[in-house]
Amino acid sequence: MSRTLIEKILSRHAGRAVRPGEIVDVGIDARVARDFGGANVVKNIRDRDLPVEDVSKTFFTFDCNPGGSDQKYAANQHVCRMFARERGVGLFDVTAGIGTHLAIEEGLVAPGGTLVSTDSHANILGAVGAFGQGMGDQDIAAAWAFGRVWFKVPESVKIVLKGKLPAGATPKDIALRLLREFGAAGLLGMSAELYGEAVDDLDLAGRITVASMATEMGAIILLFPPNRAVLDHFDKLGKTYEALYADSDAVYGRTVEIDVSSLVPLISRPGHPEDVVEVREVAGAKIDSAFIGSCTNGRFEDLAEAAAILKGRRVAPGVVLKIVPATRQVWKRALDQGLVDIFLESGALLGNPGCAGCAEGQIGQNGPGEVTVSTGNRNFAGKQGKGSVWLASPATAAASAVAGIIVTADTIPAAPVTFAKPAAKAQAGAKPDAATAKAAGGKPTAVRGRVWVVDKDNIDTDMIFHNRHLAITDIAQMGRHTFGNLPGWEDFAAKAGPGDIVVTGSNFGAGSSRQQAVDCFKSLGVAAVIARSFGAIYERNAVNAALPILAGDLIAAGLRSGEEITVDFTTGEVTRHTTGEVLRVAPFSETQTAIYKRGGLLGEG
């Protein structure tokens, strides 16, 4: 029976052979909660008096705000510490670094294993041929309590990188090239396996860089078959494991070949990670700051790449360069090998290991009007601050910091470009009945409500619920922030009411794993969300929270805001009351129906 790599991993952990489209219970080898999501996980466990199935496989990681410099983060971290003391759960405290990197460094999961985390970039584990998935608070609480979670087996795509990577191109450029190829949703809900000479040549750090950007393509995971370098890493840790590989006759949904033999440095323009161009197309654009770090480019090899450019040079006058290693181990190695001296002598600011500005909890944020070149994985509006963020490799970020303008490492001018003048500022009814039918237990199987048509694709979770509000744990307080970072819809919370129905475009809920982006709609009393498609993590978060979501294209049918419709969850029929027309969307699956009827994955909360 031929199987792809993801099918083999999930089959092993489901205890039977699986196929794409099946929903199966998967055993989880490592279950992780971060500092902002951890407090909600604890709340779910305590409120329902749930056990922790295996404390040896259960961990907290404090990587979003290692310094606890925000009172709400500090409070959440303390909640997690107290729970860890009480239950014996593992804890990587504020000095340790990024949780997904620690999972690899410490061998919490080896090739062929499984990990879930409140981090939407848990699919970084694909770098070592393991399954990693970001999930919401209820999912993680369920994994802690029962050791298993349900999962829909994704379809697999085979990506072949043809040719060798040329001089001047980096693993980050491979990741950006994939983003340019697939866009924000080209791999939506899929697992992709990478092959080819360029893949074989990638070291562990390079694989982490590429794998970390799977979420930005809508993918469940980008999987690398383990090479010798990866296996050596786990052998040195003394781990017992069995690496898995796809069968030679495995069936893929499609195969995509990309020639990287002439790849050049790439960069994403502000606002959209998938808006990728060659650096030389935008060279000369003035910058205010640069950031090197994050789960995408915080490894020692990334810092060494930057240090090779910064050695003997100074950061341009008026430009700020911020560098944050991924983990304490990376930090120490950088210190031992002289990289820290190079950074300090160049004028850079070096921070405590962690997620840094990408999570708004540490150095790396920018202010209104500030232009930053960042090595992060996301540059959504507001994600790394209120300024503009370009995404690039450590080499491009370091070179641009020295030049004062966007440049490649081989085109740094003899003298930096300085500010001739201050940087320009960036341009800145009656409610219908909610239910027409009731299910056992009182949950409606159909709802009638007023429609809000949000005709946009790729609405990410930062647009739905901005990361500045992530420390909020009370659902009642979340509704007011709904769509607060979505241009043109900032006043949605003030206008919407109980029973309303949101209709929107493709890839709704792309981005992070934050549960608040689901719970804010529940807070407002929104009866259902209907989209052409949903981000993978968002979809399961909504199902688990018993927020009715259905997939279908109602915008193409000409639906307009203000109309009243009735949506039947069991049949997928949508009735327009102005015309009597009946449209169709995908009905609830059996799993969604069961979770919905009991009021959520963990039962009525």
- Burial class from Cβ neighbours inside 10 Å (0-12, 13-18, 19+) for residue 346 reads buried
Q: What value, to the nearest 5°, has the Cα angle with vertex 555 and ends 552 and 556?
A: 90
Residue 599 has a pLDDT of 94
- How much of the chain is helix, strand and coil, in % rounded to 5? 30, 20, 50
Q: How far apart are CA 605 and CA 589, in angstroms?
A: 22
pLDDT tens sequence across 228-244: 999 999 999 999 999 99
| pTM recorded for the entire structure | 0.87
Torsion of CA 85, 86, 92, 93, to 10 degrees: -50
What is the CATH number assigned to the segment(s) 5-259? 3.30.499.10
Average pLDDT of the segment spanning 573-599: 95
- CB of 41 closer than 8 Å to CB of 12: no
Structure tokens at 354: 């962690």
Residue 467 has a pLDDT of 84
Residue 77 has a pLDDT of 92
Q: What Rg, from alpha-carbon coordinates, does the chain have? A: 24
Q: How far apart are CA 90 and CA 77, in angstroms?
A: 13
Domains 5-259 and 266-411 share a fold: yes
- Name the pLDDT band for 431 (thresholds 50, 70, 90): very low
Residues paired with 564 in a beta bridge: 450
- CB of 228 closer than 8 Å to CB of 129: no
Q: How far apart are CA 265 and CA 408, in angstroms?
A: 7
Would you list the domain boundaries of the chain? Answer: 5-259, 266-411, 435-597
The chain-wide mean pLDDT, for the chain, equals 93
Question: What CATH fold (topology level) applies to the domain 266-411?
Answer: Aconitase; domain 3 (3.30.499)
Residue 502 has a pLDDT of 98
Residue 455 phi, psi (nearest 5): -80, 70
Inform me whether the pLDDT recorded for 424 exceeds 50: no
Q: How far apart are CA 363 and CA 355, in angstroms?
A: 9
With a CB cutoff of 8 Å and minimum separation 6, the contacts of 367 are: 385, 386, 387
- Name the pLDDT band for 183 (thresholds 50, 70, 90): very high
- Name the pLDDT band for 66 (thresholds 50, 70, 90): confident
Residue 380 has a pLDDT of 86
Between 25 and 380, name the one with better pLDDT: 25
The verdict on domain 435-597 having CATH code 3.20.19.10 is yes
Inform me whether the pLDDT recorded for 428 exceeds 50: no
Q: What value, to the nearest 5°, has the Cα angle with vertex 35 and ends 34 and 36?
A: 100
* Residue 398, helix vs strand vs coil: helix
Query: DSSP for 128-178?
Result: GT-EEEE--HHHHHHHHHHSEEEEEPPPEEEEEEESPPPTT--HHHHHHHH
- Name the pLDDT band for 362 (thresholds 50, 70, 90): low
- CB of 115 closer than 8 Å to CB of 125: yes
Residue 71 has a pLDDT of 80
